Amino acid sequence: MKTAPNNKKIREIITLVKEGKIIPRPEFQRRLVWSREDKNHFIDSVLRGYPFPEIYLADGDVDLDTGEGSQLLVDGLQRVNTIVQYFTADPDLKLTLVPSYNDLDKDQKQNFLQYDVAVRDLGSVSKQEIIEVFKRLNATKYSLLDIEISNAVYSGELKKFCDQFSSNSFFELHNVFNAADYKRMGDLRYCLAIVSTIIVGYFNRDEAFEDLLNRYNDDFPLQSELYERLRNVMEFIDECGFEKNSRIWRKADLFSFFVELDQILNIKGNQLQPSAVIESVQSFLDGINSRMNESSAVHALYYKSALQATNDKLNRVRRGVILSGLIESKTLDQIEQDLIKEYLI
């Protein structure tokens, strides 16, 4: 692969982004992860004339009638995004250590716009080559999570569906995700895990992701059905009225509860009473938190499976059997017998 190094003025980059000739966020880029401190430091470096690492571009689509083309930003998303935000006085860019662009004097504005950005042009390369370059460039910065790599490789229908699912107000209302989840695509990974489990059953960690993302990249015929199933489950959980401090909102617990409710409500078609479900499930969860020394073998097993190696298939199945039994109002003795039959205890 041959690369051509050159420079572009900041003013050129801003203009190209505004005209849509540099696409600052193609699907293989990670989500924005820079903090305000990072952005402060970066803009300060530019204003002082200090260099920063080169950005990488690759050829995008070309309009065969007009000859107009675009370039994809392979690496440098956060740098370019921050530059454009700074110049346009984007209210989302809340800098504290440097003056705003509008507060710069004439010479400072001139120097900012004339700043030379080192650019390396990859030319016309395939999407897979672009992704490989991106992965290798970022390998020395901090490792990409598997979900970020999956997001880079797949931008199809299943991925879009899970993105929409993760943005549902249900998760924000119940504070399921934290800031780190949103930065590193933990919300997408979590929702993809739920949807994948509903489709194929419990699996180990993320091992089903690639196959399903590939299978449903071009078309996702289950979309309408799963939308209704997920909506039914979220509405039922909201009807239950769990307290904000309930451990049901912990990711491992909610994951299993969600999957088992789907099976019982949507597949088996059982009629459930929210009041009965919350009484059974919350009573059990309270027993884990407050009476561990007096708890049953089922309590102890659930506690362990929700604490250690929570994404392993064995622990997912264990939690599923226990929560399924509680949802269906089984006694702890009955649930223990179910666990024994499945060789889970």
**Residue 70 in tokens:** 């675009």
Encode pLDDT of 168-189 as tens digits: 999 999 999 998 888 778 899 9
Asked whether the predicted pLDDT for residue 146 surpasses 70, the reply is no
**Residue 90 in tokens:** 């984007």
Report the C-alpha gap between 89 and 95 in whole angstroms.
10
What average pLDDT does range 316-338 have in this prediction? 96
pLDDT at 336: 94
Contact between residue 58 and residue 130 where contact means Cβ atoms under 8 Å apart: yes
Taking CB atoms within 8 Å and a gap of at least 24, the contacts of 98-104 are: 98/40, 98/43, 98/44, 98/47, 104/47
Least confident of 46-55, 242-251, 329-338: 46-55
Phi and psi for 151 in degrees, rounded to 5? Answer: -65, -30
Comparing CA positions, the residue from 30, 24, 4, 23 lying closest to residue 139 is 30
